[in-house]
Each structure stands twice: as C-alpha cells, then as structure tokens.
Amino acid sequence: MINWAHIFTPLALSLPQASVSDGWGLFERGGGEVCSLSGADQIEMRPAARPDPWLAFQPWRTERNPMQTRVEQRIIIRISPARPRPNALPQQMPRRVVEQKMGKCVALRDIVAVQTGGPSKLILFLDDRRMISAQLPKTCSARDFYSGFYVEPSEDGNLCTKRDRLQSRNGTKCQISSFSQLVPA
C-alpha cells in the first residue's frame, strides 16, 4: 500500500508559505501588500515584510557566482583473487620458494591478483610474473583478505610499507609491514 504522506510531504514543503493572520486583523492581498483593519471603515495598506521561509538557502540564492568551488574525487582500487589474465600468472606454482629482500614499495598498476599465503602473509602476483610476499602485522589476519582488498592510490601510484592501508571487504584495515620477493628454489 502506498503511503501518500511520504509522497506529498516533500511537495508540500517546497510550496511557498501562505500568509496567516496573527489575530490582529492582518491579511495579505494578492499583490504582496499587507492590510490591517484598525476600525470598521479604516484600512491601512503597507508592503509585505514576510521573512523568507528558506533562510538556509538565502546566501546560495543571492550569490550567483561563488568565489570557491570544491571538487572532491576519490578513487579506490580493488585487487581481486581471481585470475584477470591467464598469461599474467605463473603456469605452475613452484613447489619451493625462497624469500629475497626487496624495496619498500610496489607499483599498484603491476599487481594483478592476490592470494593468502599464511596466517599473516599475502602473496601478490605482478604483471611481469613475479610473486611478492606482503607481511601483515601480528594484529591482522590474512584470512580477512581471502576475497581481495581495496586500496586508495597515493600520489606516486605505489603501494608502500607502513604508509598505505589495505581494506578487506569485511572492513578490516591493515598496513603492510614488509615486502619480500618469492623466487623458485
């Protein structure tokens, strides 16, 4: 059943207010003038001085060219566990890998997939078939990131340790402690 009050209330609020008598014999004529009855045969006419019912929008209406304009833009990148391209990931996962130290940042545009690799470790698959291990702090669990993660790109376009926050789909937010490159042994 349609509740008509929900439909017509915003419409009624957007209409201009009707003039209401305040008990002293004031009424408004159609031309925007207020008439007062002081006696049986005396009528005094003066312009209407009604306050605007939309005082919150008053500055917006008077200023045609605003002096300041703010445009906000937010971009969020999602890294999924699915295989985006068949030739981007290694054909066979190596049985043994060795971790080698690497820098503190990885280019976000190179990451094509993610997989959990332990209780607090994520394995990032890069576009050039490299595998990177991302160590999470002890307070974060890699199981929260089983369906991928979201990250807001920084100005340099890199995902760096102790700077950028990964957000899982369930809302968990973690920073990466360290990166290491996984090479076949």
Number of domains, the chain: 1
Q: In Å, how far are 36, 83, 138, 140, 142 from 121, measured between CA atoms? A: 81, 19, 10, 9, 6
Q: Could you tell me if residue 44 is inside a domain?
A: no
Tokens of residue 52, six digits:
């605007």
Asked whether the whole model's pTM tops 0.85, one would answer no
The boundaries of the domain holding residue 82 are: 77-184
Dist. CA 145–CA 169, nearest whole Å: 7
Query: Are 148 and 124 within 8 A, CB to CB?
Result: no
Dist. CA 52–CA 14, nearest whole Å: 13
For position 133, what pLDDT does the model report?
Answer: 94
pLDDT digits (tens, 9 = 90+) for 20-47: 444 444 444 455 554 555 555 555 555 5
The residue with greater pLDDT, 8 or 145, is 145
Q: Which amino acid is at 32?
A: G
Q: Could you tell me if residue 40 is inside a domain?
A: no
pLDDT of 65 > 70? The answer is no
pLDDT digits (tens, 9 = 90+) for 116-175: 888 999 999 998 889 999 999 999 999 998 888 999 988 999 999 999 999 998 889 999
For position 56, what pLDDT does the model report?
Answer: 56
pLDDT digits (tens, 9 = 90+) for 75-125: 788 888 855 455 555 556 667 889 999 999 999 999 999 988 889 999 999
Dist. CA 167–CA 151, nearest whole Å: 6
Q: Could you tell me if residue 36 is inside a domain?
A: no
Q: Could you tell me if residue 47 is inside a domain?
A: no
The single-letter DSSP state of residue 125 is E
For position 49, what pLDDT does the model report?
Answer: 55
The secondary structure element, H or E, covering residue 10 is helix 4-14
Q: Could you tell me if residue 67 is inside a domain?
A: no
Dist. CA 8–CA 11, nearest whole Å: 5
For position 129, what pLDDT does the model report?
Answer: 86
> What average pLDDT does the structure give for the chain?
75
The residue with greater pLDDT, 13 or 50, is 13
Query: Are 142 and 117 within 8 A, CB to CB?
Result: yes
